[in-house]
């Protein structure tokens, strides 16, 4: 006798998937607009990617190849467990290679490798409303979106410059989509904002707790907000990646000891591994095991 | 006052169920004119102000406004987008409690600059220098520009609220008890400031107050309200020095003499 639970393909029942797909279609039709949807309980807590998981479950097919990243890495808890979840409930192939993936579910990063046509990037979103911390009333923020009253967003950037001398917002940096809706790109570093602009891939955003789905269709203009005299800038890193010597990529700082020792490494682990396989070596890369023998 | 009025209100009524908020109020306001609405609490002053400023929809009546393009529009026929645009460009609203009209968690400079950013100014340096200029005009020290109004005194908050409203050079400002809750010396300074700003900028204003001294100092004309109706209207000095209605006489004679 088997007690194994019998799940529908990709965990959610077909009617739920239809409901989510309708929300996704509407979101694609109105780029940047937050579409409400009847978010379900998922077998994981809110804040762990319930929105992204529902979007992925609604769009994934048996032939798709899934990649899941968390802060750019394929091997962190969130990424590993969501990948295992879909391998179990949808029996889909999974990968860590960006180029091979059909669907990439992400938390807080966009892969370094440029995404191509036919690929779908699914973002996990904690707070979909970019105006939330400026205007607590949901009725009011909806009205502001409807009437395109976005002056308040610049008040936040003004405050940044007044306090720090520059726009100090480094993640969840507000963008304007196709000249209409102001959108929160989820807490990705602003380093990734330019990758959203005119991307060939479809970008879907799911917020489970807040029950919102929004989208950026392929070839859509995504412009980061700024001031004329304080233009938008991405982060710059002085050192290359300590493992693969990559420059022009987003780096994480890793503390090595209690004496101030630290290293900067690629946040995108797949990109870093591929570069090392191709023979690139950073200053802390060490030797391969065969060479040591 | 010559020429066309700026605002024409006719037969405005607001009922709350069977209760009267204000009823059958008509008046006109000319550019540069300050109209005071006085009366005891509960007389319908604030309801009238909220209706005229489109914060409340009246039960019946019309309020027409001469837009910047010289076209007369019924305020209650404007779309919500037009109304909100009007409210943050050509109008100002000064609340009794400054916390209602300010963003308490952003700096004074951003409070003043918000309207500029709302109408599309995207140059930080320019926004900041305009904000600084306005803080100066309402007598707030320039080095407080990056402080939050939470740390300001009641009088400073009220002056900041005024600056925030006037930065887009509105033609009409609504004020609901602008000196309420301030001590007398601060009141006097604020009144002085308001009086000079109003005459300097040629503002038209509707000021709701229960304080006849405020009406005397600031307004050209005044309306006395009781039980939702306007019972007496006229030039401020005439109404205060020679009140005709028994209620107005009572009101004027109730002023405490020091």
Per-residue pLDDT of chain B (258 residues; tens, 9 = 90+): 568 999 999 999 999 999 999 999 999 999 999 999 999 888 999 999 999 999 999 999 999 999 999 999 999 999 999 999 999 999 999 999 999 999 998 999 999 999 999 998 999 999 999 999 999 999 999 999 999 999 999 999 999 999 999 999 999 999 999 988 788 888 888 888 888 888 888 899 999 998 898 899 899 999 999 999 999 999 999 999 999 999 999 999 988 776
| Number of A–B residue contacts, CB under 8 Å | 55
Residue A159: list chain B partners with CB under 8 A.
106-107, 110
The complex's ipTM works out to 0.86
Facing B110 at nearest CB: one of A158, A226, A230: A158
Question: Is A162 close to B115, i.e. CB distance below 8 A?
Answer: no
3-state secondary structure chain A: CCCCCCCECCECCHHHHHHHHHHHHHHHHCCCCCEECCCCCCCCCCCCCHHHHHHHHHHCCCCCEEEEEECCECCCHHHHHHHHHHHHHCCCEECCCHHHCCEEEEECCCCCCCCCCCCEEEEECCCCCCCCCCCCCHHHHHHHHHCCCCHHHHHHHHHHHHHHCCCCCCECCCEEECCCEEECCCCCEHHHHHHHCCCCCEEEEEECCCCEEEEECCCCCEEECCECCECCCCCCCCCCCCCCCCCCCCEEEEECCCCCCEEEEECCHHHHHHHHHCCCCCCCCCCCHHHHC
Facing B81 at nearest CB: one of A134, A147, A226: A147
| CB contact B103 to A (< 8 Å) | yes
The per-residue pLDDT for B2 is 61
Question: Is B114 close to A152, i.e. CB distance below 8 A?
Answer: yes
The per-residue pLDDT for B73 is 95
Predicted confidence (pLDDT) at residue A7 exceeds the cutoff of 80: yes
User: Diameter of chain A by CA atoms?
Assistant: 71
Rounded to whole angstroms, the Cα distance separating B231 from B41 reads 15
Catalytic residue list of A: 32, 241, 244, 266, 272
Of the candidates B202, B187, B255, the residue with the CA atom closest to the CA atom of residue B38: B255
Q: Choose from A162, A182, A228 for mutation: most chain B CBs within 10 A.
A: A162
Q: Choose from B103, B121, B124 for mutation: most chain A CBs within 10 A.
A: B124
Question: Is B107 close to A152, i.e. CB distance below 8 A?
Answer: no
> Mean per-residue pLDDT for A119-133?
95
Encoding tokens for residue A242? 């300590």
The per-residue pLDDT for B184 is 83
Identify the closest residue of chain A to B110 by CA–CA distance.
Answer: A155
Cβ–Cβ under 8 Å, residues B205 and B217: no
Question: Is B124 close to A158, i.e. CB distance below 8 A?
Answer: yes
The per-residue pLDDT for A290 is 62
Rounded to whole angstroms, the Cα distance separating A101 from B210 reads 71
- Work out the minimum CA distance from A222 to partner chain B, whole angstroms: 18
pLDDT tens-place string over residues A212-223: 999 999 999 999
Identify the closest residue of chain A to B85 by CA–CA distance.
Answer: A149
């Amino acid at each position: 006798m088997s007690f194994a639970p019998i799940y529908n393909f990709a965990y959610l029942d077909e009617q739920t998937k239809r409901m989510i797909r309708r929300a996704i279609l509407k979101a694609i039709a109105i780029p940047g607009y937050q579409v409400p949807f009847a978010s379900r309980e998922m077998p994981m807590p809110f804040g762990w990617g319930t929105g992204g998981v529902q979007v992925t479950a609604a769009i994934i097919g048996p032939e798709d190849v899934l990649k899941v990243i968390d802060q750019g890495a394929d091997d962190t808890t969130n990424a590993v467990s969501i990948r295992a979840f879909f391998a179990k409930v949808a029996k889909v192939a999974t990968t860590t290679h960006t180029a091979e993936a059909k669907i990439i579910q992400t938390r807080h990063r966009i892969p370094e490798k440029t995404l191509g046509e036919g690929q779908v990037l699914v973002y996990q979103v904690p707070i979909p409303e970019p105006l939330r911390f400026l205007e607590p009333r949901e009725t009011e923020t909806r009205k502001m979106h409807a009437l395109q009253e976005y002056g308040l967003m610049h008040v936040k950037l003004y405050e940044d410059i007044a306090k720090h001398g520059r726009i100090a917002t480094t993640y969840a940096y507000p963008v304007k989509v196709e000249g209409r809706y102001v959108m929160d790109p989820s807490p990705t570093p602003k380093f990734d904002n330019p990758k959203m602009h005119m991307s060939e891939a479809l970008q879907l955003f799911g917020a489970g707790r807040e029950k919102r789905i929004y989208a950026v269709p392929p070839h859509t203009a995504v412009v980061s907000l700024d001031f004329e005299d304080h233009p938008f800038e991405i982060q710059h890193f002085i050192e290359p990646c300590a493992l693969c010597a990559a420059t022009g990529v987003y780096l994480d700082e890793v503390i090595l000891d209690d004496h101030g020792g630290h290293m900067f490494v690629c946040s995108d682990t797949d990109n870093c591994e591929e570069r090392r396989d191709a023979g690139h070596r950073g200053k802390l890369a060490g030797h391969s095991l065969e060479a040591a023998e | 006052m010559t020429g066309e009025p700026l605002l024409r209100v006719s037969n405005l009524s607001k009922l709350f169920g069977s209760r009267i908020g204000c009823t059958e109020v008509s008046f006109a306001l000319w550019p540069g004119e300050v109209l005071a609405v006085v009366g005891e609490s509960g007389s319908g002053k604030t309801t009238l102000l909220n209706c005229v400023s489109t914060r409340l929809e009246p039960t019946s009546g019309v309020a027409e406004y001469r837009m910047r393009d010289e076209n007369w529009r019924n305020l209650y026929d404007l779309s919500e987008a037009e109304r909100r645009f009007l409210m943050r460009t050509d109008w100002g609203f000064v609340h009794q409690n400054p916390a209602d009209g300010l963003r308490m968690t952003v700096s004074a400079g951003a409070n003043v600059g918000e309207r500029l950013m709302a109408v599309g100014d995207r140059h930080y340096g320019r926004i900041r220098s305009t904000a600084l200029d306005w803080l100066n005009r309402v007598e707030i020290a320039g080095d407080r520009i990056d402080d939050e109004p939470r740390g300001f005194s009641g009088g400073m908050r009220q002056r900041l609220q005024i600056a925030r409203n006037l930065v887009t050079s509105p033609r009409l400002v609504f004020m609901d008890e602008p000196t309420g809750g301030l001590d007398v010396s601060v009141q006097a300074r604020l009144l002085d400031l308001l009086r000079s700003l109003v005459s300097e900028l040629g503002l038209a204003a509707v000021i709701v107050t229960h304080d006849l001294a405020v009406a005397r100092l600031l307004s050209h004309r005044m309306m006395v309200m009781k039980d939702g109706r306007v019972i007496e209207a006229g030039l401020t000095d005439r109404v205060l020095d020679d009140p005709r209605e028994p209620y107005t006489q009572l009101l004027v004679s109730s002023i405490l003499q020091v």
